[in-house]
Structure 1
């Protein structure tokens, strides 16, 4: 079943009909709780949170059904939950529901650019909406309990692009970030080399940068610094062979140009390259586990408020007033 979206700010839930027959249980405490009292934590609250595995990948075209099927086959043996896509090269804006995943994308130029997401079906009810801002930038908003997550997938202009294009891209990115929730991830192909990090950048970078920085990399670092975003690739020590994300057609030049930026660096526990994705692209897939945990309440420290209403009469009189 395919569902096309013409409005850029259409809520995904309004466009996709529920396909399963499961019944949602009311999220209410198992005992009556007076007004103002917080219920003790459930067993589910106390379980360790399983990280959500998010990826970003420049696929170099998903313009045909055959390319999409090829991508499906290439990722069936890897662990992933959400994949941000660059260069999908599909025209228009659409949300398509497939058997095992949901595909969202936006494209404006025939045979060029375009960005989007693959989202596993199990996260269908977590999706708030998908907003295609431009053929270089798309926003996915999700809700996990009380936590809100915004993922911005980008495809930045190449090094040979004009200053006008790069300025417009970062202006659009800034506006997109202003629409984000408390947890923000900016991922994708930045077409920039940040290289070795500098000591004065330790608030936004780690000490594991590699290579030489170019002009586009300087602009990326400037943007991250202005918006207090950490470049997570630089926080994890990896071999050089496990860092590069793009290689030239002759395979002689390899650079790290795909990045993960976030305002919640403690939630990202690793950034890794996936070599086992057998798909015809000059990029390698980047994956990072994202841990989103709600504040836990300890049974030992749980104490009901001493100022709570004690009787049914007091509760009724309160509602009357």
Structure 2
């Protein structure tokens, strides 16, 4: 959040204190480049089953307000923390890097950034990290603003999933700017021609606990008190028919909050993953393993899709309708 002077989280700020002076150099002592590709990729990528054959597919989607990736050292820290961690796509907020572009990092991962430009020098920036083993499933990346970017994942045959990473204006901004932000997300959702939609990121909103009539949007495990921006988020979710996945999974009470104030006193749940279909989200959790001294914690959703089942269900529905029509024709002949 750009409202505060961020200094990292005390409880999980180990990476902010470690010595990183040698990380940006290779064994020969030369300065390493983002474009340098190592033979062994960092992190682990598990796409269980096959998107080609239509077997059960598990995708790990994460969102993380990194506070900054302006220095190459920070980006290297992040990639080191991802070693041994299951991820396919990570949406990033507050990258604080300039320009727009796609870069291959050492280790093989791909980094997309949409940040500061000459027209908007105050942009905080958003982007994606794409695992090297997952890059062939990415069909398109599209920017809608310096707060909203979208990535399309090609599933089996014609199925697609649109993943939209966002960074909402803080409470320092007027509601009109927040409304413009949601208009950009709305455009990204409408441009999605696929079957599944994911909206994730730092929404700078507190949704609180579920109230009567909100069960289709919120689960039983929302925390804190709702604020005005939380109301706006719920209105948007209801309009787009999205569920707020964080609130549907019971966790230890220490694993709900996603942001901590600089003094460590205030903790809020303001980073969310929203999904168009509740049934494909097997888990949604806060991650403490990945920590580059941000005041936010990463959120990860485990998405499971059986694309073959979805196609068979559609085919069976068509056959059922055909049988019903034949029966109607038979009955018509009986009465004639």
TM-score range relative to shorter protein? 0.7 to 0.9
Q: Are the aligned partners of 1:89 and 1:110 in contact in 2 as well (CA < 8 Å)? A: no
The alpha-carbon deviation at position 167 of structure 1 amounts to 1.2
1:64–1:110 CA distance, 2 compared to 1 (3 A): farther
Q: Are the aligned partners of 1:270 and 1:289 in contact in 2 as well (CA < 8 Å)? A: yes
1:46–1:142 CA distance, 2 compared to 1 (3 A): closer
- State the number of aligned residues: 262
The alpha-carbon deviation at position 227 of structure 1 amounts to 1.0
The alignment status of 1:72 with 2:79, answered yes or no, reads: yes
Which residue number corresponds to residue 141 of structure 2?
A: 130
Task: Return the alpha-carbon distance in structure 1 between the equivalents of residues 84 and 136 of structure 2.
Answer: 24
Find 2:156's aligned residue among 121, 145, 155: 145
Task: Return the alpha-carbon distance in structure 1 between the equivalents of residues 172 and 228 of structure 2.
Answer: 11
Task: Determine helix, strand or coil for the equivalent of 2:80.
Answer: helix
1:139–1:277 CA distance, 2 compared to 1 (3 A): same
Q: How does 1:18-97 map to 2 (within 5 A)?
A: 45=53, 47=55, 49-97=56-104
Task: Determine helix, strand or coil for the equivalent of 1:169.
Answer: helix
1:198–1:107 CA distance, 2 compared to 1 (3 A): same
Please identify, of 102-111 and 204-213, the stretch whose mean Cα deviation from structure 2 is larger: 102-111
The alpha-carbon deviation at position 215 of structure 1 amounts to 0.5
Which residue number corresponds to residue 266 of structure 1?
A: 279
Which residue number corresponds to residue 10 of structure 2?
A: none
Q: Deviations over 1:55-79 (max 9, x none)?
A: 0000011112111111111221321
Task: Determine helix, strand or coil for the equivalent of 1:291.
Answer: strand
Q: How does 1:141-290 map to 2 (within 5 A)?
A: 141-146=152-157, 147-180=159-192, 181-290=194-303
Task: Return the alpha-carbon distance in structure 2 between the equivalents of residues 277 and 198 of structure 1.
Answer: 33
Q: Are the aligned partners of 1:90 and 1:110 in contact in 2 as well (CA < 8 Å)? A: no
Q: Are the aligned partners of 1:130 and 1:139 in contact in 2 as well (CA < 8 Å)? A: yes
In the alignment, structure 2 segments of 5+ residues that lack a partner are: 1-32, 40-49, 320-336
TM-score by length of 1: 0.77
In the alignment, structure 1 segments of 5+ residues that lack a partner are: 4-18, 20-41, 306-321
Which residue number corresponds to residue 102 of structure 1?
A: 110
The alpha-carbon deviation at position 2 of structure 1 amounts to 7.5
Q: Are the aligned partners of 2:220 and 2:248 in contact in 1 as well (CA < 8 Å)? A: yes
Task: Return the alpha-carbon distance in structure 2 between the equivalents of residues 128 and 45 of structure 1.
Answer: 18
Task: Determine helix, strand or coil for the equivalent of 1:88.
Answer: coil
Task: Return the alpha-carbon distance in structure 1 between the equivalents of residues 143 and 186 of structure 2.
Answer: 15
The alpha-carbon deviation at position 46 of structure 1 amounts to 7.4
Q: Are the aligned partners of 2:54 and 2:156 in contact in 1 as well (CA < 8 Å)? A: no
Find 1:117's aligned residue among 113, 125, 128: 128
